[in-house]
Copies of this chain bind each other. A is one copy, B any other.
């Protein structure tokens, strides 16, 4: 997932992004203690900027910080995970509604092409969950961007989606909902394309709810 990088002017920003990626990708495993001295040396910087980066990570919920003790990479509980789905259902439902009203024809066109591509990918390679999951976020990302809401974009694209990626790594569950999700995506996109915000929200919420219920099933049968 390429992230626009143009202005990593300041050290905290750059280190924040690097740490965020390392945590999400699992390079720094869940529960790991974030040692300031160690990381400062690793990145060749002072502890000041590093602390600011850690604060940002704490603010978005990727690490938990306790005064005079330090920060640890969060390890997600089932409750925490299901909670995220509920917030996504609310926010992305609204995003879909707004996208139906505000997306430009070009954006809709791009969205459709993305879906076509996902459909092919899944046929060619039914077992590969990587592209599947990555593609899933791609779709949601585009819808949120299409909503034109700065707050929704910030909350979802800058915060929640990283938690989603983290959970996918930590729980590592293969969903098998891929083909169904593709169809649901297409239905949502068509509602957006015809400007039916009400329906777009309904379908998006239903889509995320189904995803949550699926995860809920996997969690209960696995414990």
Contacts and interface: CB of A to CB of B under 8 A. Distances in A.
A12 to B, nearest CB: 8
Contacts of A89: 94
A152 B59 CA distance: 14
Interface string A90-132: 1101100010000000000000000000000000000000000
Given A67-B10, A68-B9, A87 B149 contact: yes
B149 A67 contact: no
A186 interface: no
Interface stretch (A31-39, A78-86, A166-174, A212-220): A78-86
Copies per complex? 2
Contacts of A91: 87, 90-91
Interface residues of A, number: 32
Nearest to A13: B67
- List the 6 shortest-distance A-B pairs measured between CB atoms, nearest first: A90-B94, A90-B90, A59-B59, A9-B67, A87-B151, A10-B67
Interface of A: 7, 9-10, 12-13, 48, 51-52, 55-56, 59-61, 67-68, 80, 83-84, 86-87, 89-91, 93-94, 98, 149-152, 154-155
27 contacts: A9-B68, A10-B67, A10-B68, A12-B55, A13-B67, A48-B48, A52-B55, A55-B56, A56-B59, A59-B59, A59-B60, A61-B154, A80-B150, A83-B149, A83-B151, A84-B151, A86-B94, A86-B149, A86-B151, A87-B94, A87-B149, A87-B151, A87-B155, A89-B94, A90-B90, A90-B93, A155-B155
